[in-house]
Structure 1
Amino acid sequence: MGTLTTTGRARSVGALFAGVALLNTATVGLSTAATLIVAAGSGPGWSGLPSVANVLGTAAGALGAGLLLPVHGRRRVLSAGYAVAAAGALVAFAGALTTSLVPLLLGILLVGLGNGGAQLSRYLAADLYPEERRGRALSNVVWAGTVGALAGPALMAPAADVATGFGWPALSGPVAVAVLATAGAALAAAFLPRHVPVRQEVPVRAPARATGVARPLVAMVAAQLTMVAVMTMTPVQLENHGHGLDVVGWVLSAHLFGMFALAPLSGRIADRWGPRVTVNAGLGVLALSTATALAAPTAHTSGLPVALFLLGYGWNLVFVGGSAQLSRDLAPETRSRVQGTVDAVVWSASALAGLGSGQLFAGGGYALVAVVGGVLALLPLALLASRNGR
C-alpha cells in the first residue's frame, strides 16, 4: 500500500477510522429499521431480507474493493464506495417513506457495497505497521465500530420522533440518519493521502489454498453465521414481547459494544498469544452467548443484553484473530485481493443466516435460532483443534 511518513500514516488511520465509524452508524440504524419495516409489512418469516441484502452488498463490495485497491489506491476506491453507499441510503429512504420493499432492499444492497470497502479498511491500517503491531493496528480501526454501536441504536428513537414530527413514518427517521452518515463517510475518504497505484503481477491463488487462509476463513464464516442469525432476530423477539425501539436500541447497544469496543484488547491478545488462541477463544464465547440467550430469551434487562454482548465480543475475537492471521501470513503481492475474496466469502455465507434466521424464528421461535447458532459456533472448534500451529 505504499510507504507513508508518520504524519501521512496518522492521517490515513484517522480517515479510515472516520469512514468505518460513519458506515457502521448508518448500517446499524438502517438494517434495524428495515428489519422492523419488513416484519410489519410481510411478517417475521421475511424479516431477514434486509440482512441478506446488506451482507450480499457487503460481500460484493469487499470483493470489488480487494480487486481495485492495488490498482487505484485507498482514496479512490473508498471514496467511490462511500458515494455509492450514500446514493443507496437515499434510495432506501424513499422506500421507508413509501413502505415499499423493492427500493428499501435495493438501497440496503447499495449501502452494503460501500460497507465492503469499510470492512477492508482494517487491513489497510494493518499494512501501515510492522508485523508485530498489525493485530493492534487493525483492531484500532475495528474499534471505530464502537461509534456505530453507540450512535446507531441511540439515534433510533430520537430520529423516529423527528420523522413523526415531519409527518413521515417513524421508522424512516433512522434511515434518514443513514443518509447523513454515508455522506459523511464519503467526505472522510477524501482526506486520505494520494496513493501511487501498485500493479500486482503475481497470480492470485484460490483462497482455500493460500497459506494461512483456510483456518481464519472457516472460523470467520462460523462466527458470522452465528452472529447474524441471533442478532437479526433479537429485535423481532423484543417487539413480539411488547418492547419498543428504546429497548431494542438498548439491547443492540450492548451487542454492538461487544462487537467493537474491546477490539484493542483482542488485537493485543492476537499479537501476544497468536491468532489461533484468539480465534478459539472467540468461538467459545459465541457458544456461551447462545446458551445465555436460550436460557433467558425474554430477560430484556439482564439475560438478553449479556447474551448479545457476549455474541458481539465472541465475534470480535474471531474477526480480529482471523484478520491478524491474514495480514501476517499472506504474501504482499496477493494480500489485498485474497483478503477481499475472503471477506466476500464470509459475508456471502452469512446471507444464509440472515434469510434462514427468519425461517427458523417462524418455525421454532427465538430458542431454535439460539440452538442453531450455538451448534454453528462449536463445530469449527473440532476442526481447528485438529491442526497444529498458530
Structure 2
Amino acid sequence: MGISEVTGRTRSMGALFAGVALLNTAMVGLTTAATLIVAAGSGAAWSGLPSVASVLGTAGGAFGAGLLLPVHGRRRVLVCGYGVAALGSLVAFTGALATAVLPLLLGILLVGVGNGGAQLSRYLAADLYPQERRGRALATVVWAGTVGALAGPALMAPAADAATGFGWPSLSGPVAVAVLATAGAALAAALLPRHIPLPREKPVTAARGPVRSPAVVRPLVAMVAAQLAMVAVMTMTPLQLQSHGHGLDAVGWVLSAHMIGMFALAPLSGRIADRWGPAVAVNAGLGVLALATATALAAPTAHTSGLPVALFLLGYGWNLVFVGGSAQLSRDLAPETRSRVQGTVDAVVWSASALAGLGSGQLFAGGGYGLVAVVGGVLALVPLVLLVPRDGR
C-alpha cells in the first residue's frame, strides 16, 4: 500500500469520524431542547413531535443519500447533506428564539436529513478497507456516537447560560450549539479526499435480486427487530422511573448507562464481526437484547442496580446487531447495488424507531412496563428462530 493511499484512508476516516461525532452532538442537544420548548408551548401531549421529525428526516436522508452516493460520490453527498443540516439548525434556531413550533420542527427535519448521511458514513468507512477489516472500520465510526452522547448533554447547561447572557431564551442555547456543530460537520466532509484507491473486492454473486437475497433480509430483519426492542424499552424507562417516584438524577444515571452500552463498545463489536463473522455478532446481540428485557422485567424498579444493568445490556445488544448487520451489508453486496440497498435498509430501520416510539406508549398504558419488556424480548428472539444462517456468514 502506497503512502498516498494510507494518508487518504487516514484523512477519510478522520473526516467521517468528525462528521458523525458533530452531527450526533447536534442531534442530542437540539432534540432535547426542542422537546422542552414544545412541551412548554404546546403541552406535554405534543412533546414527542421533535423526536418524530428527527427520525423521519433521518430515514429520508439515509434513503436519499443511498441513491446519490454511487452517482455523486461520498464527498459531495456528505457536504450537501451536512449543509442541509446546517440550514435546518438555523431554521430551528429562529424557531427557538421566537418559541415557534413549526420552524423548530422543520429545522429538526432538515437536520435529520443530514443525519441520514452521517449514519451511512459507517459504510463509507468500511469500503476503505479489505473485507476482513470492515467490521472494525465501520465500528470506529459508530463509536463516534459516544462523543455526541457525552458532549450533547454536557453542553446544554453552559449553552443555556450563554444564551441567557445574550438576552435569548435559555433553550435557544443548545440549538445554537447545533448550528455550530452542523457547520463543523460540513467542513469535515469538505476535507474528504476527492479520490482514494479502494481495495479490491472478491466477486459477489446472488441467485436473486439484492433486496430479497439472504445477505439483505437477514441483517434487515435483525436490525429492525433490535431497533424496535431497544427504542420501545428505552423510551418507556424514564416514565417507569418517574411513576415510582424517582427523579431526574435516577433517569439520567440509567440513560447514561444505556448510551454507554449503545456506543462505547462498538470497536469490540467490530472485532467480533471480523473474527467470527457478522452472523455471530448479530445473533449474540439478539441474545443480549433478550437478556436485557428479562433483566428489566425482573427488576423494574431497581434504579441503582437492575435497571442500569438492563439498559446497558439493551444498548450493547443493539450495538452488536447494528455493527454485525452493517458489516454483512458492507461485505456481501455487489458494489453497484451496495449504497442503494444500505440506504434503503437504514431508512426502514429508522422508520421502525418512529413505530416503536408510538407503540411503546400504547403498550405501557395498556399493560405497564412489564408488557413493554415482554414484547421487546419477543421481538429480539423472533429473528433468532426465523433467520438461522445456513452458512458461516
- Compute the TM-score of the two structures, normalised by the length of structure 2: 0.88
Alpha carbons of structure 1 residues 302 and 101: separation in structure 2 relative to 1, 3 Å: farther
Distance 1:104 1:369 in 2: 31
Are 1:379 and 2:382 an aligned pair?
A: yes
Paired position in structure 1 for 2:80: 80
Q: Deviation per CA, 1:280-303: give whole Å up to 9, x if none.
A: 111111122223333444444433
For 2:292, the aligned partner's letter is: S
2:235 corresponds to which residue? Answer: 232
Q: Is the 8 A contact 2:210 2:333 kept in 1?
A: no
1:266 to partner: Cα distance? 0.3
Tell me the amino acid that sits aligned with residue 378 of structure 1: L
Change (3 A) 1:170 1:331: same
Q: Is the CA contact 1:284–1:314 (under 8 Å) kept in the aligned structure 2?
A: yes
Aligned counterpart, 2:274? 271
| 1:122-173 deviation digits (Å, cap 9, x = unpaired) | 1111111111111111111111111112112222333344444555444433
Task: Confirm or deny: 8 A CA contact 2:277 2:392 kept in the other structure.
Answer: no
CA deviation digits over 1:313-361, x for unaligned, max 9? 1111000000111111101121111111111111122221123234444
* 1:280 alignment partner, SS class: helix
* Higher-Rg member (1/2): 2
Change (3 A) 1:210 1:385: closer
> Do structure 1's residue 150 and structure 2's residue 150 form an aligned pair?
yes
* CA distance 1:251–1:187, change in 2 (3 Å): farther
Equivalent residue letter for 1:132:
E
Are the equivalent residues in 1 in contact too, given 2:85–2:110 (CA < 8 A)?
yes
Q: CA distance change for structure 1 residues 174 and 371 in 2, over 3 Å: closer, same or farther?
A: farther
Aligned to 2:64: 64
After TM superposition, give the deviation of residue 102 of structure 1 in Å.
2.3
Contact conserved, 2:126 with 2:330, CA < 8 A, in 1?
yes
1:97 Cα deviation after fit: 3.8
Counterpart in the other structure of 1:96 = 96
Distance (whole Å) between structure 1 residues aligned to residue 39 and residue 390 of structure 2: 43
Read off the aligned partner of 1:173 and give its amino acid letter.
Answer: G
- 8 Å CA contact 2:59, 2:350 repeated in 1: yes
User: Whole-Å Cα distance in 2 between the matches of residues 17 and 96 of structure 1?
Assistant: 29
Could you say which residue in structure 2 is the equivalent of 1:222?
A: 225
Alignment counterpart, residue 345 of structure 1, candidates 336, 344, 348: 348
- Name the structure, 1 or 2, with higher relative contact order (CA <8 Å, separation 6+): 1
Q: Check whether the contact 1:48–1:356 (CA below 8 A) recurs between aligned residues.
A: no
Give matches, 1:1-390, under 5 Å.
5-39=5-39, 45-166=45-166, 168-195=168-195, 207-238=210-241, 241=245, 243-244=247-248, 248-385=251-388, 387-390=390-393
Q: Any runs of at least 4 consecutive aligned residues in structure 1 with deviations exceeding 6 A, and if so which?
A: none
Cα separation, 2, equivalents of 1:292 and 1:102: 40
Q: CA deviation at 1:67?
A: 1.0
1:234 Cα shift? 3.8
2: CA distance, partners of 1:90 / 1:247:
33
C-alpha separation between the residues in 1 aligned to 2:320 and 2:91?
A: 34
Point out where structure 1 has 5 or more consecutive residues left out of the alignment. 199-203
Report the Cα offset of residue 182 of structure 1. 1.2
Q: Which residue identity lines up with residue 100 of structure 2 in the other structure? A: S
TM-score normalised to structure 1 length: 0.88
Contact kept, 8 Å, 2:285 with 2:320, in 1: the verdict is: yes
CA 39–232 in structure 1, closer or farther in 2 if over 3 Å, else same: farther
Counterpart of 1:201? Answer: none
Shift of residue 36, structure 1, vs aligned partner: 4.0
Give the 3-state SS of the residue equivalent to 2:212 in structure 1. coil
| Equivalent position amino acid for 2:191 in 1 | F
Asked if the contact 1:23–1:185 (Cα under 8 Å) also holds between the matched residues in 2, the reply is yes
With over 3 angstroms needed to count, the CA separation of the structure-2 counterparts of 1:379 and 1:71, relative to structure 1, is same
Shift of 1:44: 5.2
Indicate the SS of the match to 1:124. helix
1:145 maps to amino acid: G
The answer to whether the 8 A contact 1:213-1:326 is kept is yes
CA gap of 1:296–1:100, structure 2 versus 1, over 3 A, is farther
Contact conserved, 1:52 with 1:352, CA < 8 A, in 2?
Answer: no
| Identical pairs, percent | 85
Distance 1:247 1:370 in 2: 19
How many Å separate the matches in 1 of 2:4 and 2:61?
26
**Does the aligned pair in 2 maintain the 1:207–1:342 contact within 8 Å?**
no
Deviation at 1:109, TM superposition (A): 1.2
Aligned-partner Cα distance in 1 for 2:168–2:240: 25
SS in structure 1 opposite 2:387? helix
Q: Cα distance 1:354–1:48, how it changes in 2: closer, same or farther (>3 A)? A: farther
